[in-house]
Chain A
């Protein structure tokens, strides 16, 4: 891997013992929980295959399903807005808040809102936005970004959180998680009560019923969708499925894959504003459907990444994520799926080194509940990015030179003779630890093997002649 910013951040991260411990504990527990609960399914692979198929079918009919979803929501009294990019999406939400005269906004966790930097846009418009998922709230108080799709604060220890809440909420220092949670609950209760507007993401949208599904364990999603007079859902355009049966399949896999639960505590479905005679629920209901690079991905070789349901299982399975944590990726979407999404999505472009931050061990592909072939897509992504990057004259010359060396037996033999000579002189125990010049870029991070004593073609010839001289046993 090139020593880019990921390299620097990762090096710093692996030396942070506190971070390592927190990450190890969190990712291991969720990874083990996932495996245990998938094992109790009658046929986990068949269910993952089904989930993959229904996501592929939905994406192949995306125009129809989005139209159907929008029709159903409008019929139920909701408004549907369409945003081509992040800027439009933010402006739509800011305008809704402005027309409603909103001052205080409560928000349930949404990866899309992080991607489009919605909180910054709302702050710039003079609005107070409070994250209400406990982990997100902690991260917001700390002035940080989430480090995991599902557990935004996995990188923080109880002690760090205790000091933070002591400072920000003025409570007595305590490392009792229950007391810390109670303190946050008290503050957030008042926010829910007073909020003018609620914003959430969407886990899955169901075209046939017009239902927007969000899942939370804490119940903040219920408050956000039910309590304030105005509710706004922001959704990436790829999140829609056809039927309630499709939703049921994804729910079975989502909870198991994300947190090792059979079901998330609250599975929340909303379709529109409160109906006639109802005494609670939002009076205004908005859905913002966001493209922001997704239609571009849909038309290209990486369209399968759009199947992702953001469960975080690939993060927990990844040996790189488990050592360096989410912040090293410097992206809203860390871990294996983030290495694909980050270079592809509009708002996040320009992190070309990320697809290289992988050992291609395949654990992410094994973990994915919708069977996205992450390892092979990573290889393809590397190729695409290298094609864009190394179109320089020198790089082309080097490749041509290499081809010239290796397309003639004599030149190939000469180059391996040289290799044996120089590399073996530099090697100890069969490995070169410290090579000069350009090769130093390699040996700075890993060892390079010395050449074998005899090249393969020599061994092959030897073998052939040995066999020829022996008579076949009867």
Chain B
């Protein structure tokens, strides 16, 4: 392989330290960066997610959530719907509500054709952040990366208790000791956007142009 060894590069860094005067503080205190500590997390999440262009729906329970999802799917005129195989809030009732009719409900796409032609993708989340109105999705065997990416409409199911206050609380969403090693994780804050053509806002560039968040208050 071309290139040099790790020790070569780290040696250059150490030589630079000896030559120069790079100094940093002994510790840093992140508390001044906190924007949201507590309070009405659902209210803050809803406002920020809406500002970012997501459509936030509230459901009292799983049944109502399923009805909302069925409405979104119908309005999208969807024929093929991807649904994450893993468990998430209201998944059972959603599958029930979408079954029947001429809708094709797919949990594991058999090929690329199915994956790239799906009209809606339905997923759970591993958390949400009130400060920015972001959804946190984490890849795993039952939570593939593509379900929330290839279809033009993404529907995310969220339980009210999954919302943490601030971006600083993001690490707290991870299982203790597991950290992020080997993981893929994405924060989603709005529909796919661009302003590259004379600053005109266009949605749905590469990812979904519509993101619906259904918050279930009582699972």
A binds B: yes
Chain A residues in the interface with B (C-beta under 8 A): 22, 25-26, 29, 41-43, 46-47, 49-50, 53-54, 56-63, 66-67, 70, 72, 75-77, 80-84, 88-89, 91-92, 95, 132-135, 138, 151-154, 156-158, 161, 177-178, 180-181, 184-185, 188-189, 192-193, 206, 208-211, 217-220, 222-223, 225-227, 237, 244-246, 248-249, 251-252, 259, 261-272, 274-281, 288-289, 291, 295-296, 298-301, 303
The residues of A that contact B30 with a CB separation of less than 8 Å are 50, 245-246, 248-249
Which residue of chain B has the shortest Cβ distance to A29 in the bound complex? Answer: B199
Kindly state the separation between the CA atoms of A227 and B199 in the bound complex, as whole angstroms: 28
Contact A275 B140 (CB under 8 A): yes
Checking A82, A161, A274 against B5 with a beta-carbon cut-off of 8 angstroms, the contacting residue is: A82
Q: Contact between A218 and B206 (Cβ–Cβ < 8 Å)?
A: yes
Contact status B184-A84, CB under 8 Å: no
Interface string of B184-200 (1 = CB under 8 A from A): 11111111111111111
With contacts A272-B182, A295-B9 known, is A138 near B132, CB below 8 A?
Answer: no
B80 to chain A, nearest CB (A): 16
Contacts known (A218-B192, A220-B206); A280 close to B144, Cβ less than 8 A: yes
Complex: A386 Cα to B29 Cα, angstroms: 41
Q: Given the interface contacts A245-B30, A252-B33, A303-B20, does A81 sit within 8 Å of B3 by beta carbon?
A: yes
Contact of A59 among B12, B24, B51 (CB under 8 A): B24
Contact A53 B3, CB 8 Å, known A66-B10, A265-B189, A280-B146? no
Per-residue A-contact encoding for B41-78, CB less than 8 Å = 1, 0 else: 00000001001100000000000000000000000000
**Complex-state Cα separation, A249 to B21, whole angstroms:** 25
B184 touches A57 (CB 8 A): no
> Which of A72, A88, A279 is B4 in contact with, Cβ under 8 Å?
A88
B157-190 CB mask vs A (1 if < 8 Å, else 0) is 0000000001110110000000111111111111
Closest-by-CB residue of B relative to A84 is B4
Which chain B residue has the least Cβ–Cβ distance from A222?
A: B149
B100: interface (CB < 8 Å): no
Contact residues of B between 134 and 162, Cβ < 8 Å to A? 134, 139-141, 144-146, 149
A185 contacts B204, C-beta separation under 8 Å: yes
Q: How far is the CA of A157 from the CA of B199 in the complex (A)?
A: 10
Residues from chain A with Cβ under 8 Å of B168 in the complex: 245, 248-249
Q: How far is the CB of B12 from chain A (nearest CB, A)?
A: 4
Alpha-carbon distance between A178 and B205 when the two chains are bound, in angstroms: 9
Q: Does B38 contact A (CB under 8 A)?
A: no
A17: min CB distance to chain B, Å: 15
Q: Return chain B residues, CB-CB under 8 Å to A237.
A: 9, 13
A226 → B minimal CB distance (Å): 4
Q: Closest 9 CB pairs between A and B?
A: A219-B207, A299-B16, A277-B141, A57-B24, A60-B24, A135-B196, A299-B19, A295-B12, A56-B24
Distance, CA A198 to CA B93, complexed state (A): 38
Known: A58-B24, A267-B187, A299-B16. 6 other contacts (CB 8 A): A81-B3, A83-B4, A217-B205, A271-B180, A271-B182, A299-B20
Measured CA separation A16–B19 after assembly (Å): 46
* A277 CB to nearest chain B CB (Å): 3
Q: Which of B144, B200, B204 contacts A158 (CB 8 A)?
A: B200
Q: Are A262 and B181 in contact (CB under 8 A)?
A: no
- Residues of B within 8 Å of A, CB-based: how many? 81
Contact of A275 among B3, B20, B182, B189 (CB under 8 A): B182
CB-based contact B202/A265 at 8 Å:
no
Contacts of A153 in B (CB 8 A): 196-197
- Given the complex, which residues of B lie within 8 Å of A133, measured CB to CB? 196
The residue in chain A whose Cβ has the minimal distance to the Cβ of B26 is A57
Residues of B within 8 A of A251 (CB): 167
CA distance A252 to B186 in the complex (A): 16
| Alpha-carbon distance A210/B185, docked complex (angstroms) | 12
Complex Cα distance A73/B181, Å? 8
Q: Are A211 and B186 in contact (CB under 8 A)?
A: no
Contact partner, B206, options A185, A252, A264, Cβ 8 Å: A185
* Minimum CB distance partner of A267 in chain B: B187
Partner of A211, one of B18, B180, B205: B180
Task: Give the docked Cα–Cα distance between A472 and B135 (Å).
Answer: 74
Q: In this complex, what residue of A is CB-closest to B112?
A: A193
Q: List A contacts of B189 (CB < 8 A).
A: 262-267
Q: Is B180 a contact partner of A82 (Cβ separation < 8 A)?
A: no
**How far apart are the CA atoms of A57 and B23 in the complex, in Å?**
7
Query: How far does the alpha carbon of A299 sit from the alpha carbon of B21 in the complex, in Å?
Result: 7
Query: Which among A22, A47, A181, A227 has the highest number of chain B CB atoms within 10 Å?
Result: A181
Residues of B within 8 A of A134 (CB): 194, 196-197, 205
Are A263 and B187 touching (Cβ within 8 A)? yes
